Amino acid sequence: MEDELMTLDAFIALVPAIVGVLYTGVAIAYALKGDIPWAIVWASYGLANVGLIMVGMRE
């Protein structure tokens, strides 16, 4: 049971981290394109995933 818990904890941290990196990549692409409002939107999504990781990892 403890191994399953570690696997779930890793999943809870890993998936939002991966998605956060992808969102940040999209934000950078929009910023390079010059579309700053959409860059801010996507960067906010990436930052929200940091919050999800922090909430998921607290004990």
Q: What pLDDT, in 10s, does the model give residues 4-56?
A: 667 888 888 899 999 999 999 999 999 999 999 999 999 999 999 999 888 88
CA dihedral (29, 32, 36, 40) positive or negative: positive
pTM exceeds 0.75, yes or no = yes
Burial annotation 19-28 (CB, 10 A radius, 16+ → b, else e): ebeebbebbe
